[in-house]
Chains A and B, each alone.
Chain A
């Protein structure tokens, strides 16, 4: 497609701060999310480094109370302000309309509103620091959260508002996928990234209200003393856990499904080969989304829920493992007889498969009820969810950002330094989190700010790893900044990909395509 007479690209369409703050362009909104989510990632990351520093020695750098606040901020920021919104809000916003050949999302104003709501919630969450902080952990378990002092109410209201933003984004994407597909873009031709964002959107819309209600009940209990969860007032503290995980288990798929979507895109592009089992991957996303509503009890095997409930939850959880395995094998066979290029985004995709496999098999171990009784609330669980959330989602974000960077900004980046960042992050990640599986097996509980001497050396290895990860992300940041300042101009389609976003200019026009594309084939027609 030529650029003649196409007008401005979206970055130049309107100048000045106000043109950004009032923009209805999904691409700009995606970038605005990106800037702030990156900033929150930095905050959460600093908290993580401090946590690991404390755990380097058996001595105490922070008091127990200070440590617990750090641990809460790390978890809450990373979950509610980075990993949950991350891919849909940044890359989903930017590429979903491009992927289906649309000019924008279905409700551009609602999209801008979601950003403002997200910012309001995030600012509230950070402001709780001024109220003395929050020390409940990201899970806000009752009755601890009811008895403790500090900004718990403000924090849970912030979570409520962030949830609102998540719901609005989800609604918008569902409508967009149903209504704005270009002519010829049937549901069997949408890229797998779109399928994954679509499945995620369903989860966001259906599950997030439960979180909203739960935190509201908690706030009401704290402010007005209504006894929902406090046994002293006749409430049931375990009920809170049921409510919480009824959202938060589906939420872990809100975090991973979009990442899986990115991986599907990366693997086909860098193998120059059509995806193996399009239908299986697409529908396994939906299957995961469906089943994920019925497994929340696997977080509560030792909470006192009945033995029968625990056994059923264990069996149903196993069903989630199947679609996960399907995806891994489909990606593997996409490379079979392909033309595999180890470009940095592909390295991140391979890193994802490596780490996510470990996260998956340890997930199965945790789903085995007899084993989870020992592993629950130990470092084994900490290692598991970091393997899936950081090793999975974060690796996918990094790979996706690199992959789409030339499209987003029209600039190439330094491949060499992108690979260096990958080495640091990948190696650092394993050095940090693999020892935690061993610590957990040995019985070290999570959320401990001091520990027995026998756990010391593994903790020290883990802390050293955290510095490697930190270095890796700094290098990656450097790659992006360097590219913005000095990057070579990117062509329309530097990776020779087949999906629609690569068929327009880099960066795209304000309204994405010069003329609405007409689609005649699937997204991965590499022949």
Chain B
């Protein structure tokens, strides 16, 4: 799997700067790195100097008896204190810029679940992980217009009640921002992307087995491109709204890898063909028989290995429980019916 994220800026080891805040961040970070380096050189340089200069010559070396020096001690308390306060306030300013938003920000809902990010747009479009033809995950991509304030409204939620939602965290390194995504709450994240391009998203709150694979992308496009994309998606959604249940069922069939194993032309593949399935008599590996009605099809989708038709292998078909909704299952049934 190739990830196209812009290369890190080699000179500073930082991710690309996708926002104004990112460059403010890098300035403060650079300041602190230099200040730290200077303090380090003073301390460790002093250490090496003293170690060499006052190296022990004999075990009864006379040493100076210096118990303290109030002025020096004041200096090395006060100077660090001032520096710390300056960088703290500087950091607070940047933090406030991170939180800055405007009334007309484009709002996008973000839903974190084990283990993927879904993006919901105002027009009803949902972007989610998909799989390509060879079974690899294609991570969801959030498309946003450049130079436009964006507000993400985020929560953590699971598809089915049997899975407990957990905390995730939405992190875009190129924008130097992250925010925890908590079940039962909405949290928000703001940014205005300066540059077009594709940027990596990570989950940074530990969330279990596939935590490190809970990835996504942000694609920043020009405003025109974004508007066109929205219009296109809205039209696609309107078309969907006009489809019959059987036509919707066909989409479910195409989008959930059913078509990889079940044909609609009558010839069996890995599994039986759907043509003429409804109403036919099924004979199972254990000799039992049953007429294929709606309940039979529903059961075969939710628990495919419960009963396996003679001539086919058990354990091959994935379990769709928790993957397809009841509504989608009804649509698939209508689709299969339409093939008779």
Please state if A333 and B72 are interface contacts (CB–CB under 8 Å): yes
Knowing A64-B212, A231-B184, A232-B184, say if A278 contacts B67 (CB, 8 Å).
yes
* A357-B188 Cα distance, complex, nearest whole Å: 36
Please state if B183 and A231 are interface contacts (CB–CB under 8 Å): yes
**Residue ID in chain B nearest A137 by CB atoms:** B206
Please state if A272 and B63 are interface contacts (CB–CB under 8 Å): yes
Knowing A339-B57, A374-B177, say if A445 contacts B84 (CB, 8 Å).
no
Knowing A272-B61, A371-B29, say if A143 contacts B93 (CB, 8 Å).
no
Please state if A442 and B13 are interface contacts (CB–CB under 8 Å): yes
- Minimum CB–CB distance for B49 against chain A, Å: 9
Contact mask for chain A residues 371-408; partner B; CB cutoff 8 A; 1 contact, 0 none: 11110111000000000000000000000000000000
- Minimum CB–CB distance for B316 against chain A, Å: 22
Please state if A274 and B65 are interface contacts (CB–CB under 8 Å): yes
Contact residues, B56-112 vs A (CB, 8 A): 56-57, 59, 61-69, 72-73, 76-77, 80-81, 84-85, 87-88, 90-99
Residues of A with C-beta under 8 A to B169: 302, 377
Which one of B62, B63, B176 has the greatest number of beta carbons of chain A within 10 Å?
B63
Identify which of A78-86, A107-115, A310-318, A422-430 touches chain B: A310-318
**Residue ID in chain A nearest B96 by CB atoms:** A307
Knowing A369-B91, A376-B204, say if A318 contacts B178 (CB, 8 Å).
no
Please state if B92 and A454 are interface contacts (CB–CB under 8 Å): no
Knowing A148-B208, A274-B66, A318-B88, say if A452 contacts B54 (CB, 8 Å).
no
* Cβ contact of A447, chosen from B59, B93, B166, B211, cutoff 8 A: B211
* A236-B173 Cα distance, complex, nearest whole Å: 28
Residues of A with C-beta under 8 A to B94: 370-371
Contact residues, A243-274 vs B (CB, 8 A): 271-274
- Minimum CB–CB distance for B95 against chain A, Å: 4
- Minimum CB–CB distance for A267 against chain B, Å: 10
**Residue ID in chain A nearest B98 by CB atoms:** A373
Residues of B with C-beta under 8 A to A311: 92, 95
Which one of B84, B96, B210 has the greatest number of beta carbons of chain A within 10 Å?
B84
* Cβ contact of A147, chosen from B25, B77, B164, cutoff 8 A: B164
Residues of B with C-beta under 8 A to A144: 166-167, 206-208
Please state if A329 and B76 are interface contacts (CB–CB under 8 Å): yes
Instruction: State whether the Cβ of A135 lies closer than 8 Å to any Cβ in chain B.
Output: yes
Knowing A335-B51, A378-B204, A442-B8, say if A364 contacts B91 (CB, 8 Å).
no
* A362-B29 Cα distance, complex, nearest whole Å: 11
**Residue ID in chain B nearest A275 by CB atoms:** B67
* A278-B69 Cα distance, complex, nearest whole Å: 11
Identify which of B38-46, B130-138, B230-238, B320-328 touches chain A: B38-46
**Residue ID in chain B nearest A453 by CB atoms:** B3
Identify which of A25-33, A192-200, A320-328 touches chain B: A320-328
Please state if A340 and B55 are interface contacts (CB–CB under 8 Å): yes
**Residues of B near any A CB (own CB < 8 A):** 3, 5, 7-8, 12-15, 24-25, 28-29, 32, 36, 39-40, 43-44, 46-47, 50-51, 54-57, 59, 61-69, 72-73, 76-77, 80-81, 84-85, 87-88, 90-99, 163-167, 169, 171, 173-174, 176-180, 182-185, 187, 200, 202-213
A303-B182, A441-B29, A445-B202 known, 7 other contacts, Cβ within 8 Å:
A144-B167, A274-B67, A310-B95, A322-B84, A353-B47, A371-B29, A526-B63
Q: Which 4 A-B pairs have the closest CB atoms?
A: A231-B184, A443-B173, A370-B94, A147-B164
Q: List 12 A-B contacts (CB under 8 A).
A: A144-B207, A147-B164, A232-B164, A314-B92, A322-B77, A322-B81, A325-B77, A370-B24, A371-B91, A378-B204, A443-B173, A454-B7
